[in-house]
């Protein structure tokens, strides 16, 4: 009888779980096909599962803003080990006598000893998790009903394990057995319970067993409806992660199909983007590292992912309800007709069913839309696309991609573009640059310099992509001129496009104006191909990223090199000699688009070291955890109306480092940090220098526009 009850409970539980999984899976696959390969490189993807799911590598990583999640490792690994005992209980419940106890003692005893110890470890970690949420209270890790149910369920599993095995061992001791010394905790409990009568021991073991089984089956079916749905979503999400070098990989829109104008509804996301929402562990790392969230903006990457999931599940549930009610209405219609009722005088039950259907349809129609509704406009516009959220996510959720796709819908379909960006877009359309300065002045920066045009040097080793900031911004012109003098000194063969160069379209694409971006991309690709360009050299990481990763979608396959990479190469090859820098202490600020998105952390630092700066301080938030300057994602051309300005936050960190100069490798970073130094009234104490300016100032007898002054502090 016990076996029958167990099988019935197990079958009902698995059936309910299968139904839930089918419903949730169907919601995911309502999304559009993903343009990127998700099932290639099978051996590498299997390795990813081992490293990032079972090995929990990214959970174990410690950054400057997250140091308190190691207990999750013990809970997860403990659960993996305890699952062996869970499987043993289920198998032996279905087929009595088939158990791990059939293994030789040499295997069985160490295995169950390990399981017993890890039950205690997990129980201790759960206790700490409760204390952490209720007393320590880390940001964005609240104590709520869901957390209480999950942690309580885990703790109950551990306790019922000890109850069941403790009473079982007590019964063995009462019968003259030796106990189970290989299970230290359960054995100790068994010795405490040994004085009880045989009936009490048997009753206790039975109660412990069934409680344990019921908690397992209940926990299994609660998982999909709780924060722990990530236990189901994380593994497939890791297995299908983006493994290409194009880490911010935006699909090319078919602008002739208005259904592809960004994402307004959840089903316009790819299935992989929807799977992301099931994988979220709610660790809050994405939000804790987000520059927008950390400066008081209405953007929490974690909440955004949850909102997409809630939108998906709410709409799918209402859609299913409508289908069920439509079937009910048709059934009632037939019943009404067969019993002598007609449309003028329908059966009351038919009228009631029809009213219920109309009410559900109205509920669905009145739901706020996702883009610009449930997910508010200011949430989407706050993002700098820096990638800090995606970098720290332990399950490889791609937050910036979703934000940009929703921006596309705001711009292209809903025509809800902030006024500052409308002006920027007009400038790019009319003058081919975001500043709106006449394109006929694009070469004014080089009037007194020996800069070869592509017509003068038709087969250069490098095409120097000057960029809009490098050509039009008065501060960045100085670093462009410094770079030109370095190239001339080192004898590098290069040329520029001159007036034929236009904005790469980076601000347009990151801000969602895919139509404008594609126009500029097609124009530039045609220009570069006509010039027979093979290698492109640029000082702007945003241009680098667009030319390297976006332009191949338009047939533009070029080798794209950042100027710090070329400088590093020239210095290591001995083609560029410099004197020792006159600066004493500097720090380097990582550009998000050079560092996180293109994984170049070493070249700028190697160049700084090569010029002999005696003291280079790393900022607390550096390399893959570097803090954004606030300019990416077209934020360069927008005002900040909420909270603290992002560049001020970063500027304050640099000031606290007590350095003479902040060295950068991005014109946007240069502009934002220079502004920050001015606003903090320290521009006469702390310089903001591009790596090229630092090098140029260290080349003997080469004048530059901005010489480094010594002894600034």
Please report the pLDDT score of residue 712 as a whole number.
31
Does residue 609 belong to any structural domain of this protein? yes
Answer yes or no: do 316 and 358 share one domain: yes
Q: Give 118-153 pLDDT, tens digit per residue.
A: 999 999 999 999 998 888 888 888 888 888 999 999
- What residues make up the domain containing 633? 419-697
Q: For residues 471 and 554, what is the distance between their CA atoms, to the nearest angstrom?
A: 25
Q: Which residues contact 434 (CB under 8 A, 6 or more apart)?
A: 424, 427, 428, 468, 503, 507, 636, 637
The Cα 605–Cα 623 span in angstroms is 10
Tally of CB atoms within 10 A around 417: 20
The CA radius of gyration of the chain, in Å to the nearest whole number, is 32
Asked if residue 86 is part of any domain, the answer here is yes
Residue in 398, 35, 58, 46 with CA at minimum distance from that of residue 247: 398
CA 509, CA 259: separation in Å to the nearest integer? 18
Residue 66, pLDDT score:
60
Return the CATH number at 387.
1.10.1060
Using a 10 angstrom Cβ sphere, with 0-12 exposed, 13-18 middle and 19 or more buried, the burial of residue 259 is exposed
Q: Are 49 and 342 in contact (CB under 8 A)?
A: no
Strands (DSSP E) contained in 512-593 are 535-538, 559-562, 585-588
419 — phi, psi (to 5°)? -55, -40
Provide the pLDDT for residue 67: 58
- Both tokens of 233, joined, read 């979503």
Helix axes 301-338, 271-279, angle to 10 degrees: 110
518 and 663: one domain? yes
Q: How far apart are the first and last CA of the chain?
A: 85
d(CA 74, CA 154): 13
Q: Among all chains, which residue has been given the structure tokens 């005002």?
A: 639
CB neighbour list of residue 668: distance below 8 Å, 6 or more residues apart: 469, 540, 542, 591, 629, 631, 632, 636
Domain contains 6: no
pLDDT at 330: 86
- Give yes or no for a contact between 436 and 472, defined as CB atoms under 8 angstroms apart: no
Percent of the chain clearing pLDDT 90 (strictly above): 77
240, part of any domain: no
On whether both 575 and 472 belong to a single domain, the answer is: yes
Note the pLDDT tens digit of each residue in 453-474: 999 999 999 999 999 999 999 9
Residue 370 Cα distances to 60, 259, 264, 391, angstroms: 34, 15, 6, 25
Dist CA 386 CA 650 (whole Å): 14
Per-residue DSSP letter, 562: E
DSSP category for residue 270: B
DSSP 647-679: HHHHHHHHHHT--SEEEES-HHHHHHHHHHHHH
**Per the domain annotation, does 201 fall within a domain?**
yes
d(CA 195, CA 200): 10
Indicate if the pLDDT at residue 708 is higher than 70. no
Which pairing describes strands 585-588 and 615-617: parallel, antiparallel, or unpaired?
Answer: parallel
DSSP, res 257: -
Q: Are 619 and 694 in contact (CB under 8 A)?
A: no
- State whether 596 and 613 are in the same domain: yes
Helix (H) or strand (E) holding 464: strand 462-465
Residue 671 CB-density burial (10 A; 0-12 exposed, 13-18 middle, 19+ buried): buried
Residues 537 and 608 placed together within one structural domain of the fold: yes
Dihedral over Cα of 644, 383, 559, 469: its sign? negative
E strands along 115-261, which residues? none
89-96: long-range pairs with CB below 8 Å, 24+: 89/209, 89/212, 89/213, 89/216, 90/10, 90/216, 93/3, 93/6, 93/7, 93/10, 93/213, 94/3, 94/6, 94/7, 94/10, 96/3
**What is the distance between the alpha carbons of residues 491 and 460, in angstroms, rounded to a whole number?**
12
Which residues on neighbouring strands pair with residue 535, listed in sequence order?
559
Contact 521, 550 (CB under 8 A): yes
Whether 387 and 425 map to the same domain: the answer is no
Mean pLDDT lowest for which of 33-37, 54-58, 427-431, 670-674?
33-37
- The DSSP code for 536 is E
**Strand pairing class (661-664; 535-538):** unpaired
Whether residues 532 and 640 fall in one domain: yes
Smallest CA-to-CA distance from 612 within 711, 709, 704, 699 is with 699
Mean residue pLDDT of the chain comes to 92
The span from the CA of 398 to the CA of 393, in Å, is 9
In tens, the pLDDT along 431-442 reads 999 999 999 999
* 245 — pLDDT class (breaks 50, 70, 90): confident
Q: Is the pLDDT of residue 334 over 60?
A: yes
Res 277 pLDDT > 70: yes
Averaged pLDDT for residues 199-214 = 93
- 627, 665: one domain: yes
Alpha carbon distance 488, 38 (integer Å): 45
The total number of structural domains in the chain stands at 3
235 located within any domain? no
Q: Which residues of 56-94 are buried (b: 16+ CB within 10 A; e: fewer)?
A: bebbeeebebbeebebbebbbbbeebbeebbebbbebbe
Tell me if 286 sits within 8 A of 301, measured CB to CB: yes
The encoded tokens of residue 128 equal 């700490």
What pLDDT, on a 0 to 100 scale, did the predictor assign at position 711?
31
What pLDDT, on a 0 to 100 scale, did the predictor assign at position 269?
96
Q: Which has the closest alpha carbon to 48: 210, 205, 322, 234?
A: 234
Q: What is the pLDDT of residue 581?
A: 87
- pLDDT for 238 equals 97
Q: What would the mean pLDDT of 78-89 be, rounded to a whole number?
A: 90
Say how far apart CA 326 and CA 360 lie, in whole Å.
10
Check pLDDT > 70 for residue 709.
no
Length of the chain: 713
3-state secondary structure of 300: coil
Say what the pTM is: 0.91
User: Which pLDDT score is estimated for 339?
Assistant: 74
Q: How confident is the model at residue 160 (pLDDT cuts 50, 70, 90)?
A: very high
> Strand pairing partners for 270?
32
Last residue of a domain, one of 412, 447, 467: 412
Inter-residue contact 481 to 445 (CB < 8 Å): yes
Task: Tell me which residue of 319, 314, 233 sits closest to 277, measured CA to CA.
Answer: 233
- Which of 202, 225, 248 is the C-terminal boundary of a domain? 225
Under the banding of pLDDT at 50, 70 and 90, the label for residue 79 is confident
Nearest in space to 648 (alpha carbons), one of 681, 619, 620, 616: 681
CA dist., res. 691 & res. 604, Å (int)? 7
pLDDT of 399 reads: 97
Q: In which band, very low, low, confident or very high, does the pLDDT at 68 lie, cut at 50, 70 and 90?
A: low
% pLDDT > 70, the chain = 97
- The answer on 281 and 379 residing in a single domain is yes
**Does a structural domain hold residue 20?**
no
Identify the CA nearest to 609 among candidates 687, 573, 663, 562.
663
Domain shared by 146 and 271, yes or no:
no
SS3 content of the chain, % helix, strand, coil (to 5): 60, 5, 35
Choose the final residue of a domain: 225, 250, 270: 225
Query: Can you give the three-state secondary structure of 35-65, one letter per residue?
Result: CCCCCCCHHHHHHHHHHHHHCCHHHHCCECC
**Torsion 229-230-231-233 (CA) sign:** positive
Question: Measured in whole angstroms, how far is the alpha carbon of residue 312 from the centre of its chain?
Answer: 19
Distance separating alpha carbons of residues 302 and 316, to the nearest angstrom: 21
Residue 21 lies in a domain: no
If DSSP states are collapsed to H, E and C, what string results for 316-351? HHHHHHHHHHHHHHHHHHHHHHHCCCCCCCCCHHHH
Q: Express each pLDDT in 482-531 by its tens digit.
A: 999 999 999 999 999 999 999 999 999 999 999 999 999 999 999 999 99
Q: What is the pLDDT of residue 707?
A: 39
Say how far apart CA 487 and CA 136 lie, in whole Å.
Answer: 55
* Strand arrangement, sheet containing 615-617: 615-617, 585-588, 661-664, 687-690
* Same-domain pairing of 311 and 459: no
The Cα 70–Cα 73 span in angstroms is 5
Shared domain check, 283 and 197: no
Q: How much is the pLDDT for 713? A: 27
The predicted model gives 194-221 an average pLDDT of 92
Residue 710, pLDDT > 50, answer: no
């Amino acid at each position: 009888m016990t076996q029958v009850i167990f099988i019935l409970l197990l079958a009902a539980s698995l059936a309910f779980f299968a139904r839930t999984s089918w419903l949730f899976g169907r919601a995911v696959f309502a999304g559009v096909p993903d343009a990127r390969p998700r099932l290639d490189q099978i051996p590498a993807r299997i390795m990813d599962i081992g490293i990032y799911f079972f090995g929990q590598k990214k959970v174990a990583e410690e950054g400057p803003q997250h140091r308190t999640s190691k207990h999750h490792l013990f809970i997860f690994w403990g659960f993996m080990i305890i699952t062996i005992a869970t499987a043993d209980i289920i198998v032996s419940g279905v087929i009595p006598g088939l158990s791990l106890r059939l293994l030789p003692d040499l295997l069985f005893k160490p295995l169950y000893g390990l399981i017993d110890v890890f039950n205690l470890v997990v129980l201790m970690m759960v206790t700490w998790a409760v204390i952490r949420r209720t007393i320590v209270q880390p940001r964005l890790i609240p104590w709520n009903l869901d957390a209480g149910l999950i942690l309580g369920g885990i703790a109950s599993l551990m306790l019922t394990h000890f109850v069941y095995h403790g009473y079982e061992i007590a019964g063995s001791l009462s019968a003259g057995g030796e106990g189970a010394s290989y299970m230290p905790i359960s054995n100790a409990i068994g010795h405490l319970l040994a004085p009880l009568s045989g009936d009490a021991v048997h009753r206790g073991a039975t109660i412990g067993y069934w409680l344990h089984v019921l908690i397992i089956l209940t926990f299994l079916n609660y998982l999909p409806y709780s924060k722990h749905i990530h236990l189901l979503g994380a593994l497939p999400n890791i297995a299908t992660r983006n493994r290409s070098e194009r880490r911010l990989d935006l699909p090319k829109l078919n602008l002739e199909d208005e259904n592809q104008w960004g994402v307004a509804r959840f089903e316009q996301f790819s299935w992989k983007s929807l799977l992301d929402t099931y994988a979220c562990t709610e660790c809050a790392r994405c939000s804790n590292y987000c520059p927008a969230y950390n400066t008081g903006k209405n953007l929490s990457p974690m909440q955004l992912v949850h909102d997409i999931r809630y939108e998906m599940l709410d709409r799918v549930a209402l859609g299913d309800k409508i289908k069920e009610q439509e079937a009910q209405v048709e059934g009632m219609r037939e019943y009404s007709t067969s019993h002598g009722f007609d449309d003028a005088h329908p059966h009351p039950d038919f009228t009631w069913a029809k009213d219920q259907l109309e009410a559900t349809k109205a509920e669905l129609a009145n739901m706020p839309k996702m883009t610009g509704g449930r997910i508010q406009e200011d949430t989407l516009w706050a993002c700098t696309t820096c990638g800090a959220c995606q970098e720290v996510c332990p399950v490889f959720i791609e937050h910036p991609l979703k934000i940009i796709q929703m921006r596309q819908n705001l711009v292209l379909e809903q025509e809800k573009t902030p006024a500052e960006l409308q002006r920027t877009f007009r400038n790019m359309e009319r003058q081919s640059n975001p500043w709106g300065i006449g394109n006929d002045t694009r070469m004014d920066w080089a009037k007194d310099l020996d800069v070869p045009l592509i017509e003068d040097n038709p087969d250069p080793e490098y095409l120097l992509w000057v960029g809009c900031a490098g050509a039009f911004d008065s501060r960045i012109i100085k670093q462009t001129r410094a770079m030109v003098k370095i190239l001339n000194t080192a004898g590098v063969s290069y040329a520029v496009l001159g007036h034929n160069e236009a904005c790469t379209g980076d601000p347009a694409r990151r801000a969602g104006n895919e139509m404008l971006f594609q126009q500029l991309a097609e124009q530039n690709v045609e220009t570069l191909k006509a010039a027979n360009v093979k290698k492109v050299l640029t000082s702007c990481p945003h241009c680098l990223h667009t030319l390297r990763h976006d332009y191949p979608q338009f047939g533009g396959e070029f080798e794209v090199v950042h100027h710090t990479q070329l400088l590093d190469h020239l210095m290591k090859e001995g083609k560029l000699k410099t004197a020792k820098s006159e600066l004493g202490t500097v720090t380097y600020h990582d550009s998000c688009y050079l560092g996180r998105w293109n994984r170049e952390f070493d070249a700028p630092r190697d160049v700084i070291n090569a010029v002999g700066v005696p003291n280079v301080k790393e900022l607390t938030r550096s390399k893959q955890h570097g803090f954004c300057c606030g300019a990416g994602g077209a934020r360069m051309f927008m005002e900040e109306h909420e909270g603290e300005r992002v560049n001020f936050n970063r500027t304050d960190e640099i000031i606290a480092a007590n350095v003479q100069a902040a060295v950068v490798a991005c014109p946007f970073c240069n502009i934002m940090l220079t502004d920050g130094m001015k606003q903090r009234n320290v521009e006469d104490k702390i310089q903001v220098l591009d790596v090229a300016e630092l090098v140029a100032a260290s080349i003997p007898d080469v004048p530059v526009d901005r010489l480094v002054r010594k002894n600034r502090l």
